[in-house]
Structure 1
Amino acid sequence: MPLYKTITPNSQTTVKIWKIEESYDDLMQGMTLKPETLKRVLGMKSELHQRGFLSVRKLLAEFGYYDTDLFYDENGKPHLKDGKQISITHSFNFSGVIISDSIVGIDIEKHRDKITVIAHKFVDYEVDYLDELSSCYIKKLTAIWCVKESLYKLFAVPGLSFKDCLLVIPFELIDEETKAWVDYKDKKHLYNIRFLEFEGFTCAYAAE
Protein backbone atom coordinates (compact mmCIF):
# COMPACT_ATOMS: atom_id res chain seq x y z
CA MET A 1 0.00 0.00 0.00
CA PRO A 2 1.39 3.41 -0.93
CA LEU A 3 -0.20 4.80 2.27
CA TYR A 4 2.81 3.86 4.33
CA LYS A 5 1.97 5.05 7.80
CA THR A 6 -0.69 6.90 9.80
CA ILE A 7 0.19 8.50 13.13
CA THR A 8 -2.27 10.12 15.53
CA PRO A 9 -0.25 11.96 18.21
CA ASN A 10 -3.45 13.36 19.73
CA SER A 11 -7.17 13.58 19.00
CA GLN A 12 -6.77 16.82 17.02
CA THR A 13 -3.74 15.85 14.91
CA THR A 14 -3.04 13.20 12.27
CA VAL A 15 0.08 12.49 10.21
CA LYS A 16 -0.03 10.41 7.04
CA ILE A 17 3.04 9.25 5.10
CA TRP A 18 2.95 7.99 1.50
CA LYS A 19 5.55 5.73 -0.10
CA ILE A 20 5.76 6.81 -3.73
CA GLU A 21 5.84 3.59 -5.73
CA GLU A 22 3.56 4.62 -8.59
CA SER A 23 4.59 6.09 -11.90
CA TYR A 24 3.63 9.62 -12.87
CA ASP A 25 0.88 8.27 -15.16
CA ASP A 26 -0.52 6.04 -12.40
CA LEU A 27 -0.66 8.96 -9.98
CA MET A 28 -2.37 11.18 -12.54
CA GLN A 29 -5.00 8.59 -13.39
CA GLY A 30 -8.41 9.62 -12.03
CA MET A 31 -7.00 12.72 -10.32
CA THR A 32 -8.92 15.99 -10.54
CA LEU A 33 -6.69 19.05 -10.29
CA LYS A 34 -7.38 22.77 -10.42
CA PRO A 35 -6.10 24.39 -13.65
CA GLU A 36 -3.35 26.24 -11.77
CA THR A 37 -2.29 23.01 -10.04
CA LEU A 38 -2.15 21.11 -13.33
CA LYS A 39 -0.10 23.90 -14.88
CA ARG A 40 2.31 23.75 -11.95
CA VAL A 41 2.72 19.96 -12.28
CA LEU A 42 3.25 20.07 -16.03
CA GLY A 43 5.85 22.81 -15.56
CA MET A 44 8.03 20.69 -13.27
CA LYS A 45 11.19 19.45 -14.98
CA SER A 46 11.77 16.54 -12.62
CA GLU A 47 9.44 13.54 -12.70
CA LEU A 48 10.51 12.74 -9.14
CA HIS A 49 9.23 16.17 -8.09
CA GLN A 50 6.03 15.66 -10.07
CA ARG A 51 5.40 12.33 -8.39
CA GLY A 52 6.08 13.81 -4.95
CA PHE A 53 3.68 16.65 -5.65
CA LEU A 54 0.94 14.31 -6.89
CA SER A 55 1.40 11.90 -3.97
CA VAL A 56 0.56 14.79 -1.65
CA ARG A 57 -2.80 15.05 -3.44
CA LYS A 58 -3.27 11.33 -2.82
CA LEU A 59 -2.64 11.96 0.87
CA LEU A 60 -5.18 14.78 0.85
CA ALA A 61 -7.73 12.29 -0.48
CA GLU A 62 -6.87 9.95 2.40
CA PHE A 63 -7.90 12.78 4.72
CA GLY A 64 -11.10 13.35 2.72
CA TYR A 65 -9.89 16.51 0.95
CA TYR A 66 -9.53 17.46 -2.70
CA ASP A 67 -7.06 19.67 -4.52
CA THR A 68 -9.74 22.38 -4.55
CA ASP A 69 -9.68 22.42 -0.73
CA LEU A 70 -6.01 23.46 -0.67
CA PHE A 71 -4.55 26.90 -1.31
CA TYR A 72 -1.28 28.72 -0.65
CA ASP A 73 -0.64 32.17 0.79
CA GLU A 74 1.84 34.75 -0.50
CA ASN A 75 4.68 33.03 1.41
CA GLY A 76 3.90 29.62 -0.07
CA LYS A 77 2.39 28.26 3.14
CA PRO A 78 -0.45 25.76 2.51
CA HIS A 79 -3.93 26.24 3.98
CA LEU A 80 -7.21 24.36 3.93
CA LYS A 81 -10.48 26.12 3.16
CA ASP A 82 -12.20 24.63 6.22
CA GLY A 83 -9.70 26.29 8.56
CA LYS A 84 -7.84 23.15 9.60
CA GLN A 85 -4.07 23.57 9.80
CA ILE A 86 -1.86 21.68 7.33
CA SER A 87 1.80 21.17 6.54
CA ILE A 88 3.28 19.23 3.61
CA THR A 89 6.61 17.60 2.78
CA HIS A 90 8.15 15.23 0.26
CA SER A 91 11.63 13.81 -0.20
CA PHE A 92 12.61 11.32 -2.90
CA ASN A 93 10.11 8.44 -2.60
CA PHE A 94 8.25 9.55 0.52
CA SER A 95 5.77 12.33 1.17
CA GLY A 96 3.93 13.40 4.29
CA VAL A 97 0.99 15.54 5.36
CA ILE A 98 0.01 16.62 8.86
CA ILE A 99 -3.44 18.09 9.58
CA SER A 100 -4.50 19.48 12.94
CA ASP A 101 -6.64 21.96 14.81
CA SER A 102 -3.33 23.56 15.87
CA ILE A 103 -0.65 25.21 13.73
CA VAL A 104 1.71 22.47 12.51
CA GLY A 105 4.91 21.74 10.60
CA ILE A 106 6.36 18.56 9.10
CA ASP A 107 9.50 17.54 7.25
CA ILE A 108 10.91 14.34 5.75
CA GLU A 109 14.55 14.01 4.73
CA LYS A 110 16.70 11.20 3.39
CA HIS A 111 19.83 10.24 5.32
CA ARG A 112 22.72 11.45 3.17
CA ASP A 113 26.38 12.06 3.94
CA LYS A 114 26.25 15.42 2.13
CA ILE A 115 24.37 16.89 5.10
CA THR A 116 27.74 17.20 6.85
CA VAL A 117 28.81 19.71 4.20
CA ILE A 118 25.98 22.12 5.08
CA ALA A 119 25.85 21.40 8.84
CA HIS A 120 27.62 24.68 9.62
CA LYS A 121 24.68 26.53 8.07
CA PHE A 122 22.03 25.19 10.45
CA VAL A 123 23.88 23.88 13.54
CA ASP A 124 25.19 26.12 16.31
CA TYR A 125 24.04 25.36 19.86
CA GLU A 126 23.66 21.68 18.90
CA VAL A 127 27.42 21.29 18.31
CA ASP A 128 27.82 20.84 22.06
CA TYR A 129 26.09 17.45 22.02
CA LEU A 130 26.97 16.18 18.53
CA ASP A 131 29.78 13.66 18.07
CA GLU A 132 31.20 13.65 14.53
CA LEU A 133 32.80 10.24 15.15
CA SER A 134 29.55 8.61 16.20
CA SER A 135 27.92 6.08 13.87
CA CYS A 136 24.67 8.01 14.45
CA TYR A 137 26.11 11.39 13.41
CA ILE A 138 24.35 11.55 10.01
CA LYS A 139 21.04 10.44 11.53
CA LYS A 140 21.29 13.02 14.31
CA LEU A 141 22.14 15.81 11.90
CA THR A 142 19.21 14.78 9.73
CA ALA A 143 16.88 14.73 12.73
CA ILE A 144 18.04 18.23 13.75
CA TRP A 145 17.44 19.50 10.21
CA CYS A 146 13.96 17.92 10.14
CA VAL A 147 13.07 19.42 13.52
CA LYS A 148 14.21 22.87 12.43
CA GLU A 149 12.47 22.62 9.06
CA SER A 150 9.20 21.57 10.72
CA LEU A 151 9.48 24.54 13.11
CA TYR A 152 10.27 26.88 10.23
CA LYS A 153 7.10 25.78 8.47
CA LEU A 154 5.07 26.10 11.67
CA PHE A 155 6.40 29.52 12.67
CA ALA A 156 6.07 30.84 9.10
CA VAL A 157 8.40 33.84 9.31
CA PRO A 158 10.28 34.15 5.99
CA GLY A 159 14.04 34.24 6.40
CA LEU A 160 14.08 32.87 9.96
CA SER A 161 17.64 31.66 10.63
CA PHE A 162 17.92 27.91 11.21
CA LYS A 163 21.27 28.47 12.91
CA ASP A 164 20.52 31.44 15.13
CA CYS A 165 16.79 31.25 15.85
CA LEU A 166 15.93 27.53 15.91
CA LEU A 167 17.48 25.53 18.75
CA VAL A 168 17.10 21.81 19.50
CA ILE A 169 17.83 20.51 22.99
CA PRO A 170 19.92 17.31 23.44
CA PHE A 171 18.10 14.11 22.50
CA GLU A 172 18.65 10.44 21.77
CA LEU A 173 17.39 8.93 18.53
CA ILE A 174 15.73 6.09 20.44
CA ASP A 175 13.50 8.60 22.26
CA GLU A 176 11.79 9.73 19.04
CA GLU A 177 10.96 13.08 20.64
CA THR A 178 12.68 16.24 21.76
CA LYS A 179 12.01 19.86 22.61
CA ALA A 180 13.04 22.84 20.54
CA TRP A 181 12.51 26.53 20.70
CA VAL A 182 12.23 29.45 18.36
CA ASP A 183 14.18 32.48 19.57
CA TYR A 184 12.61 35.41 17.74
CA LYS A 185 12.41 39.12 18.60
CA ASP A 186 13.57 38.58 22.21
CA LYS A 187 10.91 35.92 22.83
CA LYS A 188 11.39 32.17 23.14
CA HIS A 189 8.67 29.82 21.93
CA LEU A 190 9.04 26.22 23.16
CA TYR A 191 7.68 23.25 21.21
CA ASN A 192 7.47 19.50 21.67
CA ILE A 193 8.71 17.68 18.56
CA ARG A 194 8.28 14.06 17.58
CA PHE A 195 10.35 12.26 14.98
CA LEU A 196 10.76 8.77 13.55
CA GLU A 197 13.07 6.89 11.21
CA PHE A 198 12.08 4.54 8.38
CA GLU A 199 13.89 3.08 5.37
CA GLY A 200 16.78 5.54 5.52
CA PHE A 201 14.60 8.61 6.11
CA THR A 202 13.68 10.78 9.09
CA CYS A 203 10.36 12.53 9.60
CA ALA A 204 9.81 15.19 12.26
CA TYR A 205 6.58 17.02 13.05
CA ALA A 206 5.60 19.80 15.40
CA ALA A 207 2.28 21.19 16.58
CA GLU A 208 1.48 24.24 18.65
Structure 2
Amino acid sequence: MPLLFKKDCHNGGIVAVWQITEPVEELLEELALRDCELSRVSSFKLDKRKAEFLATRCLIKEVLGITPEIDYQDSGKPVLQNADYNLSISHTKGYAAIVLSKGQYAGIDIEYPSDRVQRVYERFVSLDEQQFIPEGQRVEYYTLIWCLKEAMFKMFDEQSIIFNEHLVCRPFKFDEEGELKALYRKEKEVELSYRFSTVNGFYLVYHC
Protein backbone atom coordinates (compact mmCIF):
# COMPACT_ATOMS: atom_id res chain seq x y z
CA MET A 1 0.00 0.00 0.00
CA PRO A 2 2.17 2.89 -1.22
CA LEU A 3 2.19 6.25 0.49
CA LEU A 4 1.60 8.55 -2.48
CA PHE A 5 1.52 11.95 -0.82
CA LYS A 6 2.56 13.29 2.57
CA LYS A 7 3.01 16.86 3.68
CA ASP A 8 3.74 18.41 7.05
CA CYS A 9 1.65 21.51 7.68
CA HIS A 10 3.12 24.65 9.22
CA ASN A 11 1.24 24.22 12.52
CA GLY A 12 2.29 20.62 13.16
CA GLY A 13 -0.48 18.99 11.15
CA ILE A 14 -0.10 16.23 8.57
CA VAL A 15 -1.87 15.43 5.31
CA ALA A 16 -1.38 12.09 3.56
CA VAL A 17 -2.80 9.92 0.78
CA TRP A 18 -2.49 6.16 0.39
CA GLN A 19 -3.28 3.93 -2.55
CA ILE A 20 -5.30 0.91 -1.41
CA THR A 21 -3.88 -2.21 -3.06
CA GLU A 22 -4.18 -4.85 -0.29
CA PRO A 23 -7.07 -7.22 0.38
CA VAL A 24 -9.13 -6.71 3.52
CA GLU A 25 -7.43 -9.59 5.34
CA GLU A 26 -3.97 -8.08 4.89
CA LEU A 27 -5.12 -4.68 6.13
CA LEU A 28 -6.68 -6.28 9.21
CA GLU A 29 -3.37 -7.93 10.07
CA GLU A 30 -1.69 -4.52 10.26
CA LEU A 31 -4.01 -3.23 12.99
CA ALA A 32 -4.93 -4.00 16.59
CA LEU A 33 -8.58 -2.94 16.41
CA ARG A 34 -10.98 -2.65 19.32
CA ASP A 35 -14.05 -4.87 19.40
CA CYS A 36 -16.30 -1.94 18.44
CA GLU A 37 -14.17 -1.29 15.35
CA LEU A 38 -14.13 -4.94 14.35
CA SER A 39 -17.92 -4.95 14.62
CA ARG A 40 -18.09 -1.88 12.40
CA VAL A 41 -15.92 -3.56 9.77
CA SER A 42 -18.17 -6.63 9.85
CA SER A 43 -21.24 -4.43 9.35
CA PHE A 44 -20.06 -3.28 5.91
CA LYS A 45 -21.40 -5.44 3.09
CA LEU A 46 -18.83 -4.47 0.46
CA ASP A 47 -15.12 -5.31 0.67
CA LYS A 48 -14.43 -1.91 -0.90
CA ARG A 49 -15.99 -0.16 2.08
CA LYS A 50 -14.15 -2.43 4.52
CA ALA A 51 -10.85 -1.70 2.78
CA GLU A 52 -11.43 2.06 2.94
CA PHE A 53 -12.19 1.88 6.66
CA LEU A 54 -9.08 -0.19 7.37
CA ALA A 55 -6.75 1.65 4.99
CA THR A 56 -7.55 4.95 6.70
CA ARG A 57 -6.38 3.47 9.98
CA CYS A 58 -3.29 1.95 8.37
CA LEU A 59 -2.45 5.37 6.95
CA ILE A 60 -2.73 7.04 10.36
CA LYS A 61 -0.58 4.28 11.81
CA GLU A 62 2.01 4.90 9.09
CA VAL A 63 2.34 8.63 9.86
CA LEU A 64 1.87 8.57 13.66
CA GLY A 65 3.26 5.14 14.58
CA ILE A 66 0.15 4.08 16.54
CA THR A 67 -2.98 2.13 15.74
CA PRO A 68 -5.59 4.88 15.96
CA GLU A 69 -8.66 4.65 18.14
CA ILE A 70 -11.38 6.50 16.23
CA ASP A 71 -14.87 7.13 17.54
CA TYR A 72 -17.68 8.98 15.77
CA GLN A 73 -19.98 11.80 16.76
CA ASP A 74 -23.71 11.48 16.01
CA SER A 75 -23.13 13.42 12.79
CA GLY A 76 -20.57 10.86 11.64
CA LYS A 77 -17.57 13.12 12.26
CA PRO A 78 -14.50 11.04 13.27
CA VAL A 79 -12.72 11.78 16.53
CA LEU A 80 -9.20 10.49 17.17
CA GLN A 81 -9.12 9.41 20.81
CA ASN A 82 -5.50 8.40 21.38
CA ALA A 83 -3.59 11.30 19.79
CA ASP A 84 -3.85 15.07 20.10
CA TYR A 85 -5.08 15.86 16.59
CA ASN A 86 -8.32 16.84 14.95
CA LEU A 87 -9.03 14.36 12.17
CA SER A 88 -10.72 14.44 8.79
CA ILE A 89 -11.01 11.52 6.36
CA SER A 90 -11.84 11.06 2.67
CA HIS A 91 -11.88 8.19 0.14
CA THR A 92 -12.16 7.83 -3.61
CA LYS A 93 -11.79 4.86 -5.99
CA GLY A 94 -8.88 3.04 -4.38
CA TYR A 95 -7.39 5.89 -2.34
CA ALA A 96 -7.62 6.95 1.29
CA ALA A 97 -6.75 10.47 2.46
CA ILE A 98 -6.40 11.95 5.93
CA VAL A 99 -5.58 15.27 7.49
CA LEU A 100 -4.43 15.54 11.10
CA SER A 101 -4.59 19.06 12.49
CA LYS A 102 -3.26 20.64 15.65
CA GLY A 103 -5.57 23.60 15.08
CA GLN A 104 -9.28 24.08 15.60
CA TYR A 105 -10.28 22.84 12.15
CA ALA A 106 -9.43 19.80 10.03
CA GLY A 107 -10.97 19.17 6.63
CA ILE A 108 -10.07 17.11 3.56
CA ASP A 109 -11.67 15.80 0.39
CA ILE A 110 -10.33 13.77 -2.51
CA GLU A 111 -12.15 13.29 -5.82
CA TYR A 112 -11.57 12.32 -9.43
CA PRO A 113 -12.65 14.97 -11.97
CA SER A 114 -15.76 13.81 -13.81
CA ASP A 115 -18.28 15.21 -16.28
CA ARG A 116 -21.04 14.40 -13.79
CA VAL A 117 -20.23 17.57 -11.83
CA GLN A 118 -21.52 19.59 -14.77
CA ARG A 119 -24.97 18.04 -14.30
CA VAL A 120 -25.27 19.08 -10.66
CA TYR A 121 -23.00 22.12 -10.35
CA GLU A 122 -25.88 24.50 -9.55
CA ARG A 123 -26.35 22.67 -6.26
CA PHE A 124 -22.96 23.75 -4.96
CA VAL A 125 -21.67 26.59 -7.20
CA SER A 126 -23.20 30.05 -6.69
CA LEU A 127 -23.87 32.56 -9.47
CA ASP A 128 -20.96 34.70 -8.24
CA GLU A 129 -18.59 31.72 -8.34
CA GLN A 130 -19.64 30.84 -11.87
CA GLN A 131 -18.35 34.22 -13.04
CA PHE A 132 -14.66 33.36 -12.53
CA ILE A 133 -14.77 29.84 -14.04
CA PRO A 134 -13.26 29.66 -17.56
CA GLU A 135 -15.53 28.13 -20.20
CA GLY A 136 -13.01 25.48 -21.22
CA GLN A 137 -12.15 24.33 -17.69
CA ARG A 138 -15.54 23.84 -16.09
CA VAL A 139 -14.96 20.21 -15.03
CA GLU A 140 -11.65 21.10 -13.38
CA TYR A 141 -13.05 24.11 -11.51
CA TYR A 142 -16.33 22.44 -10.54
CA THR A 143 -14.49 19.39 -9.17
CA LEU A 144 -12.07 21.49 -7.16
CA ILE A 145 -14.87 23.66 -5.76
CA TRP A 146 -16.79 20.51 -4.83
CA CYS A 147 -13.72 19.16 -2.99
CA LEU A 148 -13.31 22.46 -1.19
CA LYS A 149 -16.90 22.60 -0.04
CA GLU A 150 -16.93 18.95 1.04
CA ALA A 151 -13.84 19.65 3.16
CA MET A 152 -15.57 22.70 4.64
CA PHE A 153 -18.74 20.71 5.35
CA LYS A 154 -16.70 18.17 7.32
CA MET A 155 -14.89 20.91 9.22
CA PHE A 156 -17.91 22.85 10.41
CA ASP A 157 -20.05 19.72 10.99
CA GLU A 158 -23.39 21.47 10.47
CA GLN A 159 -25.96 19.28 8.72
CA SER A 160 -28.13 22.11 7.38
CA ILE A 161 -25.36 23.77 5.36
CA ILE A 162 -26.42 24.88 1.87
CA PHE A 163 -23.33 24.50 -0.33
CA ASN A 164 -24.07 27.27 -2.83
CA GLU A 165 -25.13 29.73 -0.13
CA HIS A 166 -23.26 29.15 3.14
CA LEU A 167 -19.92 28.09 1.63
CA VAL A 168 -18.17 30.66 -0.58
CA CYS A 169 -15.13 29.98 -2.75
CA ARG A 170 -13.03 33.04 -3.60
CA PRO A 171 -11.76 33.44 -7.19
CA PHE A 172 -8.67 31.34 -7.92
CA LYS A 173 -6.54 30.08 -10.80
CA PHE A 174 -6.51 26.35 -11.47
CA ASP A 175 -3.06 24.73 -11.45
CA GLU A 176 -1.36 21.51 -10.34
CA GLU A 177 -1.28 22.91 -6.81
CA GLY A 178 -2.10 26.11 -5.03
CA GLU A 179 -4.17 27.93 -2.44
CA LEU A 180 -7.91 28.41 -2.10
CA LYS A 181 -9.58 30.98 0.12
CA ALA A 182 -13.12 30.37 1.27
CA LEU A 183 -15.74 31.83 3.57
CA TYR A 184 -18.14 29.95 5.84
CA ARG A 185 -21.13 32.20 6.50
CA LYS A 186 -23.85 30.49 8.49
CA GLU A 187 -24.65 31.93 11.94
CA LYS A 188 -21.03 33.11 12.08
CA GLU A 189 -18.46 34.07 9.46
CA VAL A 190 -15.11 32.28 9.23
CA GLU A 191 -12.62 32.81 6.40
CA LEU A 192 -9.88 30.21 5.99
CA SER A 193 -7.17 29.19 3.54
CA TYR A 194 -6.95 25.72 1.99
CA ARG A 195 -4.35 23.96 -0.09
CA PHE A 196 -5.05 21.92 -3.20
CA SER A 197 -2.97 19.42 -5.17
CA THR A 198 -3.55 17.18 -8.18
CA VAL A 199 -1.99 13.75 -7.63
CA ASN A 200 -2.33 10.66 -9.87
CA GLY A 201 -5.28 12.23 -11.66
CA PHE A 202 -7.30 13.06 -8.54
CA TYR A 203 -7.86 16.38 -6.80
CA LEU A 204 -7.07 16.89 -3.13
CA VAL A 205 -8.20 19.86 -1.00
CA TYR A 206 -7.33 20.17 2.69
CA HIS A 207 -7.01 22.47 5.67
CA CYS A 208 -4.81 21.55 8.62
Normalized against structure 1, the TM-score is what? 0.91
1:65 and 2:84 equivalent? no
1:123 and 2:125 equivalent? yes
Query: CA offsets per residue over residues 23-49 of structure 1, 9 Å max, x none?
Result: 222222242222222222222222222
Give the alignment partner of residue 105 of structure 1, picking from 99, 104, 107: 107
Query: CA offsets per residue over residues 98-125 of structure 1, 9 Å max, x none?
Result: 1121121111111111111121111113
Partner of 1:151: 152
- 1:104 partner letter: A
Shift of 1:96: 0.9
Shift of 1:197: 0.6
Give the direction of change, closer, same or farther, for the CA distance of 1:8–1:83 in structure 2 (3 Å limit).
closer
User: Structure 1 residue runs of 4+, over 4 Å off?
Assistant: none
Q: In structure 2, what is the Cα distance between the partners aligned to 1:35 and 1:92? A: 27
Partner of 1:84: 85
Shift of 1:95: 0.8
Partner of 2:33: 33
Identity of aligned residues (%): 29
Partner of 2:198: 197
1:184 and 2:186 equivalent? yes
- 2:169 partner letter: V
Aligned residue for 1:129, secondary structure, equals coil
Cα RMSD for the two superposed structures = 1.6
Normalized against structure 2, the TM-score is what? 0.91
Query: CA offsets per residue over residues 152-198 of structure 1, 9 Å max, x none?
Result: 1111112211111001011112251110000112x321000101011
Q: In structure 2, what is the Cα distance between the partners aligned to 1:11 and 1:195? A: 17
**Is contact 1:86-1:98 (8 Å) kept?**
yes
Structure 2 residues without counterparts, runs of 5 or longer: none
Instruction: Between 39-48 and 90-99, report the one with greater CA deviation.
Output: 39-48
